[in-house]
Structure 1
Amino acid sequence: MPDVAQINQFGANYLPGYLGIRFTRVDAGEVHAELPVRQELMAPNGYLHAGSVVTLADSCAGHGCLASLPEGATGFTTVELKSNHLGTAREGTITCIAKAVHLGRTTQVWDATVTHRDTGKTVALFRCTQMILYGR
């Protein structure tokens, strides 16, 4: 499994890197990341865009899935995701912890909690299901 620095470098030229997501821990079954809040991540109403929050959570779950693939699997694709937004942020940093709920041979289910680092308030609860892929 690649270390956190390699994972951050790998995603630097893709959406997670473009948004500024920084992974701080990646293990089989659990992933941590953070995202500094800035204007480019806001909706026109001045609050953090829901898509920014979902991207953070989905990226954590996706890297967790990659780190937890069963033997013989070649990848995955997200087949369902859901988010409940309970708060927002206008400044600071949001963090995410994603944890595996189900690590099967054909599917994985991940739960993620996004919080504001400084206040500890929950911003969103997220769940996604990934279909495990085999072969090319």
Structure 2
Amino acid sequence: MKFTESEILEQCAKMCKNTLMETLEISFCEVGEDYLVAKMPVTPKVHQPDGVLHGGAMVALAESVGSAASYIFLNAKDFFIRGLEISANHVKSVKEGYVFGRAEIVHKGRTTQLWDIKIRDEEGNLISVVKLSTIALPKSK
């Protein structure tokens, strides 16, 4: 069964209720054949003490969009998706506006997946490059 973009984004929104994603105001805004995009507002809530976006908030955005993408693209109703490893290189700072995380699959194995996640600002400037490995663990029947 193939879902529409709006149905997928609606499902992602439902998954965010009462989670870190809701706390950070992360929302999913675009999905394609092999990618998922989420956005997060840059406000003092996610700043480090000197007034720029905290690297940990960027990593939370990246893991959120990568894990959601694993769930969507693996049709994971029979699996739990968990992050195995994440690494981030922050290349530019941001003080306000929105940042957008775009997760694209690099390797789609049955058990492990590798995601390339680029975080950009509203002007398309590269803010952070993130690599995320996820694992699909079978749910008990």
Residue of structure 2 aligned with 1:129, choices 124, 127, 133: 133
1:52 deviates by 0.9
Residue of structure 2 aligned with 1:44, choices 31, 49, 52: 49
1:3 deviates by 2.2
Q: Pairwise CA RMSD of aligned residues?
A: 1.8
User: TM-score when scaled to structure 1?
Assistant: 0.90
Counterpart CA distance in 1 for 2:97 and 2:30 is 20
Identify unmatched segments of 5+ residues in structure 1: none
| Alpha-carbon displacement from aligned partner over 1:75-120 (angstroms, at most 9, x marks no partner) | 2211111000001100111111110111101100000000111x32
| Alpha-carbon displacement from aligned partner over 1:6-38 (angstroms, at most 9, x marks no partner) | 311320310111101110124563111111110
Number of paired residues? 135
Identity, % of aligned pairs? Answer: 27
Give the equivalent residue in structure 2 for 1:20.
25
Identify unmatched segments of 5+ residues in structure 2: none
Higher helix share: 2
User: TM-score when scaled to structure 2?
Assistant: 0.87
Amino acid at match of 2:87: K
1:66 deviates by 0.2
Counterpart CA distance in 2 for 1:49 and 1:68 is 29
- 2:96 partner SS: coil
Larger mean CA deviation between 78-87 and 28-37 belongs to 28-37
